[in-house]
Structure formats: C-alpha cells, structure tokens
Chains A and B, each alone.
Chain A
Amino acid sequence: EAQVTQNPRYLITVTGKKLTVTCSQNMNHEYMSWYRQDPGLGLRQIYYSMNVEVTDKGDVPEGYKVSRKEKRNFPLILESPSPNQTSLYFCASSLRGRLATQYFGPGTRLTVL
C-alpha cells in the first residue's frame, strides 16, 4: 500500500531534550516536506526537500533541522525543543515538486513541557 508513515504518532517531552520525528514514504517520491498545524493558522511549511541531499527552508524553519540522505526518509529534528513547538506535525511527499499533489502522513502530535 502506497503511504507516508510517521513515528512516533504522539510524543510528550520536556524543554531542551533533543528529539527526532521520522518520516518515510514507499512511493519513490522525489519531493518531501514537513508542516506544522496550529489552530487558526492552517498548515505552515517548515522544510522541504526536492531530492536526496537537497533541502530548503519553508516558512517557519527556526528551531528545526532536517536531512535527506535517502530518497524514502526525511526526518525532522528538534535539537532543543521549546513549548512553542508544541503542535501537530505532518510529513508529505509527492512524485515531483513542481505542482504535484502532496500526500500526507498521519501526523505526529508533539507536546513540549
């Protein structure tokens, strides 16, 4: 089954404790992206990757890092999480970046205390 998977689905952590949210897709998509969803703000793009070893900032990259060493994986790293990073995070992928439809993972609900 074609899908985007994220782990963990739920995470409660404390300020400053480094964490990684994994994202994997099995559709051989070149393009992958991370979003955060906050009430009233919709989804905002954090980082995206057009292909392996190519990453770029979205609208809200501060406090996040990403890497794209393999085509299928695009982990999101919070080196020193803060309470304002409490949010619902979505990973997405598409066959090609240019105007293609993005397919989303199930979401990761992160709480930083």
Chain B
Amino acid sequence: AQKVTQAQTEISVVEKEDVTLDCVYETRDTTYYLFWYKQPPSGELVFLIRRNSFDEQNEISGRYSWNFQKSTSSFNFTITASQVVDSAVYFCALSNNAGNMLTFGGGTRLMVKP
C-alpha cells in the first residue's frame, strides 16, 4: 500500500516570508509520480506540478519550487516571498505504477497574513 504524509496540518506566515510545505511518501513501486495540488478557499483543486520518480531535478516556477529527494522519500514545496493569495490548502499526492490510484496526503493549510 502507498501512503503520503503531510505532517504540517496548518502553517501561518506573514506576507513575504518564505515557507516550505513538507511531503513524505511511501511506496513499493520503482516507477511512480508525485503531485502537488492547491485548493483555494473557493474549493476547487488546482494542479501545480507532476514529477516522475526518475527525475530528481529540482524545479522552479516563479515563486514556487519543489525539492524531490528519493533518498528520503520526500517531495517538498517551497513558496518564496509568500503572498496573501497563496493562502490555501495544499495537497501532496502519489500515483501508483499502474496509474490508476492516486493517494493524497492529509493536506497543509497555509495562511498568509498581510
């Protein structure tokens, strides 16, 4: 069975601070994909990134960056210079090798205060 753990249930920061959201996963598959989704207060789920298990390069997209470390089974997400609009629940997710099961972590609620 696969598992995703987001140990931080809630984080509060002040605008312009950097913040890192942790994600640790467990899987027996050698091929898998990791995802981050954002759920703003409006409730929809917004896809942010997909990373496959063979690509350990870090990725940066504007203020967002992701650090994938296979050795520690972690896929952490950093927001640089946070903004109020970043306030949301963020989910890390893991897809199994067959691609038919997507396992989510419990989510981290990020509150960015002005």
Q: Are A107 and B43 in contact (CB under 8 A)?
A: yes
Contact (A45, B102) CB under 8 Å given A101-B47, A101-B50: yes
Residue A65, interface by CB 8 Å: no
CB <8 Å contact, B100 and A50: yes
B73 close to chain A: CB less than 8 A: no
Distance, CA A25 to CA B15, complexed state (A): 37
A35 to B104, CA, bound (A): 10
Q: Are A98 and B44 in contact (CB under 8 A)?
A: no
Give residues 21-52 of B contacting A (CB, 8 Å).
31-33, 35, 37, 43-45, 47, 50, 52
Q: A12 at interface (Cβ–Cβ under 8 A)? A: no
Partner of B100, one of A31, A43, A90, A103: A31
Return chain A residues, CB-CB under 8 Å to B31.
Answer: 99
For window 80-94 of chain B, which residues contact chain A by CB distance below 8 Å?
A: 91, 93
Residue from the list A40, A43, A88, A99 in contact with B33, Cβ < 8 A: A99
* Chain A residue at smallest Cβ distance from B6: A42
Asked whether any CB of chain B lies closer than 8 Å to the CB of A24, the reply is no
Other-chain contact of A98, B91, B98, B103 (Cβ < 8 Å): B98
- Shortest C-beta distance, B90 to chain A (Å), equals 11
The residues of B with any CB-CB pair to A shorter than 8 Å are 4, 6, 9, 31-33, 35, 37, 43-45, 47, 50, 52, 91, 93, 95, 98-107
